Amino acid sequence: MTPTQFTELTNTLVVSCQAEPGLPLDAPIHIEALARSAVIGGASGLRIQGIANIRAVRAATDLPLIGLLKVDRPGTDVYITPTVADVEAVIEAGADIVAFDATDRVRPDTVATLCETVRQAGRLSMADISTAAEGVAAMRVGADIVSTTMSGYTPHSRKLPGPDFELMHELAVAGVPFAAEGRIWTGEEARRAFELGARFVVVGSAITRPDMITRRFIDEALRNPSRTFQGQAAE
């Protein structure tokens, strides 16, 4: 892909197909099934974590694939594709776009180095950021696009129950091309992200996390005192 090929993702939905370790869907065959289901539903691209999962989904579709690798390392809180070796592994697995943490924290490799590694391989870089300043900095050192993924997950970013629309506005004002991702649960929230200038919207849990979807339904049902759930009156 080239930066101009982001055009095919413009004003579309990308679905993140991931499963937390230990959950029933945490296996490449299940992630592939989730990805194929999302494609049938109209997803324009997919965001996939883990080398085996990326390979499985790459074999199942030619749609743009955003790949990443979550790795815990001592001495840093950066865990989304934190090193050059991680970037290279994601590329080798078949990702068109490499997503990595570009937040302003202690890190094993610089954002500039990660961007250059992606560029040299002829792929695109997606910098996951938590503030507008981080987005501007990532673009200056070579990122092709930023994503609001990390908002709320760093000590210096807003802690919000829903999408960080203010961050989206700040990125748009700064002229930073961005994808909207993080705590987007409704079509209305996705529309708002597009209105604020998002190139595309990435949705994960609201589509591909049945455990979280179930819990939200239960929470909503129990909040209404006129309803009952499993024979128990809501309090």
Picking from 51, 120, 137, the residue whose alpha carbon sits closest to that of residue 89 is: 51
Q: Give the pLDDT score at 230.
A: 46
Picking from 18, 13, 12, the residue whose alpha carbon sits closest to that of residue 208 is: 18
Q: Give the pLDDT score at 7.
A: 82
> How far apart (Å, rounded) are the C-alpha atoms in residues 224 and 156?
35
Picking from 173, 66, 77, the residue whose alpha carbon sits closest to that of residue 127 is: 66
Identify the sign of the CA torsion 11, 12, 18, 20: positive
Q: Give the pLDDT score at 3.
A: 54
> How far apart (Å, rounded) are the C-alpha atoms in residues 64 and 70?
20
Buried b (16+ CB within 10 A) or exposed e, 105-128: eebbbebebbbbbbeebebbbbbb
SS (H, E, C) the chain: CCHHHHHHHCCCEEEEECCCCCCCCCCHHHHHHHHHHHHHHCCCEEEEECHHHHHHHHHHCCCCEEEECECCCCCCCCCECCCHHHHHHHHHHCCCEEEEECCCCCCCCCHHHHHHHHHHCCCEEEEECCCHHHHHHHHHCCCCEEEHHHCCCCCCCCCCCCCCHHHHHHHHHCCCCEEEECCCCCHHHHHHHHHCCCCCEEECHHHHCHHHHHHHHHHHHHHCCCCEECCEECC
Average pLDDT over residues 61-71: 97
User: What are the φ and ψ backbone dihedral angles of 17, each rounded to 5 degrees?
Assistant: -110, 100
Q: Give the pLDDT score at 222.
A: 86
Q: What is the pLDDT of residues 68-108, one digit of tens each?
A: 999 999 999 999 999 999 999 999 999 999 999 999 999 99
Report the predicted TM-score, pTM, of the whole model to 2 decimal places. Answer: 0.93
For domain 3-214, the CATH superfamily is Aldolase class I (3.20.20.70)
Q: What is the pLDDT of residues 126-164, one digit of tens each?
A: 999 999 999 999 999 999 999 999 999 999 999 999 999
In angstroms, how far is CA 100 from the centroid of its own chain? 10
Average pLDDT over residues 37-62: 98
Q: How confident is the model at residue 226 (pLDDT cuts 50, 70, 90)?
A: low
Buried b (16+ CB within 10 A) or exposed e, 10-25: eeebbbbbbbeeeeeb
Q: Give the pLDDT score at 225.
A: 56
CA angle 208, 210, 213 (to 5 degrees): 100
Q: What is the mean pLDDT of the chain?
A: 93
